[in-house]
């Protein structure tokens, strides 16, 4: 069970599939729960100057409602072929599933950006403008890894498009507006602030760099606009974090600086070609920084370099600390991954890094992201050490048992981890290959035991697991 499940937090997409049941729930809770009205402080400060209303006047015509329909085939069953039921099931026709969401006009000829999940697998898409005009739309391209999609309205012209802003200029506490079509009730504007930036590892999509806001976002707001007080689009509303399934003050939007290159790729070729550096990276914790004598809180640690990748050709090494990509600071793996991916395949990026206490700069020509590596065999018990680890030499038999790549030429294999041991607390698993102890390469169980026994306090391990390497700390 995941950590998110244990906390009983529900991540839901902003798109809505409306039903009679949902409508009844809305009415039911509306009747029973008391309703209190109070002025929003930010709104009260801005209303006298009319700035909020002026922003709404500018952006509302650029936000649209999206209604999608898709055909859902009846569920299959072995009983379908039984003579008693065959005629009945043959008469059952596919049902139509309807969904509602939002979108944003980004060009006057009807190009719209929205969420992928709003239009995924849709057979028909209808878009309603703020002035009630309706258009049919076709999907230009989708990118499920970022949950973005680009649509084109048929026969549209002279539409009012929104201005795309620079999401990097946002500061925590900046006022923002969320515009969309929550629950299908019609265009709605809510006010809030930027609560956080760079939210990653949420688990919604593969590539995450979300803006977090407390502006109310509900089902149906997906694909709608997050707007700055300058009237510029700075995010596409995507999801909420909730225990109940409804808005609870934590919403997420994809920043425009992530949207722009993806939208450009989809418009030019219908797909996204992301850049690939060819490194395994991990966040630099305070303990890792101390163990490796690196500056805390800065950069992302390179724990492995793919021998086939661009990083290897450019001279990157294991243990390098990546500080900047094209002049932009990187302090998290999510930030680094997004900057490299958004640069695109075949792009050349400038990396700033620290190696052996010295600052360096490298130019790397990126490649296209290849398929994943991996593979691990079942556990096998071996003699245990006092630290709670069962270890074995990297023999042909052990290599075959755990499906260890031939490119791993030295190290010792973890075959058992005692529950509650220091190895267990550090996150070691059966099938891991320990390559280094405190930056010293090892090739035998006896060498591991010697170095481990000589270490004091904490031990820095370099571990190969499922095709990649990473650093782990053991506290003795």
Task: Give bridge partners of residue 463 from the DSSP assignment.
Answer: 434, 470
β-strand pairing of 163-164 with 232-242: parallel
Active site residue 222: yes
In whole angstroms, what is the distance from residue 412 CA to residue 443 CA?
6
Query: Residues near 15 by Cβ (< 8 Å), separated by ≥ 6?
Result: 99, 100, 101, 115, 117, 118, 219, 220, 222, 223
What separation in angstroms does the CA of 178 have from each of 54, 123, 284? 15, 28, 34
Q: Which of 102, 117, 146, 469 is catalytic?
A: 117
Query: Residues near 309 by Cβ (< 8 Å), separated by ≥ 6?
Result: 276, 277, 278, 279, 367
Q: Which of 13, 68, 146, 147 is catalytic?
A: 147
- What phi and psi values does residue 6 have, to the nearest 5 degrees? -60, -35
Q: Which of 68, 102, 146, 222 is catalytic?
A: 222
Smallest CA-to-CA distance from 423 within 461, 455, 467 is with 461
Smallest CA-to-CA distance from 58 within 231, 193, 192, 182 is with 231
Side-chain half-sphere CA neighbours of 428 within 13 A: 33
Active site residue 19: no
CB 394 within 8 Å of CB 414: no
* C-alpha dihedral sign at 214, 220, 221, 222: positive
What separation in angstroms does the CA of 75 have from each of 72, 92, 161, 207, 473? 9, 10, 42, 33, 50
Q: Which residues are catalytic?
A: 117, 147, 222
């Amino acid at each position: 069970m995941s950590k998110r499940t244990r906390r009983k937090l529900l991540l839901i997409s902003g798109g809505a599939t409306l039903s009679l049941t949902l409508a009844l729930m809305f009415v039911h809770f509306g009747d029973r729960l008391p309703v209190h009205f109070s002025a929003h402080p930010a709104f009260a400060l801005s209303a006298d100057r009319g700035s909020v209303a002026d922003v709404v006047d500018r952006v509302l015509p650029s936000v649209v409602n999206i209604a999608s329909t898709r055909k859902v085939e009846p569920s299959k069953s072995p009983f379908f072929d039984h003579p008693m039921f065959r005629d009945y099931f043959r008469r059952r026709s596919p049902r139509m599933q309807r969904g509602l969401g939002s979108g944003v006009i980004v060009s006057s000829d009807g190009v719209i950006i929205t969420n992928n999940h709003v239009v995924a697998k849709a057979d028909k898409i209808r878009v309603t403008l703020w002035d009630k005009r309706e258009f049919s739309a076709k999907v230009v391209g989708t990118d499920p890894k970022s949950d973005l999609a680009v649509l084109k309205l048929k026969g549209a012209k002279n539409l009012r498009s929104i201005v795309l802003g620079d999401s990097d200029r946002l500061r925590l506490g900046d006022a923002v507006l969320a515009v969309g079509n929550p629950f299908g009730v019609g265009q709605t504007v809510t006010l809030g602030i930027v609560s956080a930036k760079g939210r990653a590892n949420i688990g919604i999509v593969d590539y995450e760099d979300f803006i977090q806001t407390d502006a109310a976002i509900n089902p149906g707001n997906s694909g709608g606009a997050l707007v700055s007080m300058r009237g510029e689009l700075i995010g596409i509303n995507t999801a909420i974090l909730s225990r109940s399934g409804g808005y609870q003050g934590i919403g997420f939007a994809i920043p425009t600086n992530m949207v722009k290159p993806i939208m450009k790729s989809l418009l030019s070729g219908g797909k996204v070609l992301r850049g690939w550096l060819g490194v395994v990276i991990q966040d630099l914790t305070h303990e890792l920084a101390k163990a490796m004598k690196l500056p805390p809180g800065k950069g992302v640690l390179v724990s492995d370099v793919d021998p086939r990748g661009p990083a290897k050709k450019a001279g990157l090494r294991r243990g390098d600390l990546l500080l900047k990509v094209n002049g932009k600071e990187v302090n998290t793996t999510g930030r680094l991954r997004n900057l490299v991916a958004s640069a695109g395949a075949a792009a050349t990026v400038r990396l700033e890094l620290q190696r052996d206490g010295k600052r360096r700069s490298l130019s790397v020509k990126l490649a296209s992201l290849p398929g994943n590596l991996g593979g691990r065999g079942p556990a096998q018990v071996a003699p245990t050490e006092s630290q709670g680890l069962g270890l074995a030499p990297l023999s042909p038999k052990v290599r075959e048992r755990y499906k260890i790549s031939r490119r791993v030429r030295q190290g010792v294999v973890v075959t058992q981890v005692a529950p509650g041991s220091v190895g267990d607390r550090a996150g070691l698993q059966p099938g891991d290959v320990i390559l280094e102890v405190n930056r010293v390469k090892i090739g035998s169980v006896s060498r591991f035991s010697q170095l481990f026994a000589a270490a004091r306090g904490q031990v820095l391990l370099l571990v190969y697991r499922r095709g990649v390497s990473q650093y782990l700390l053991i506290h003795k």
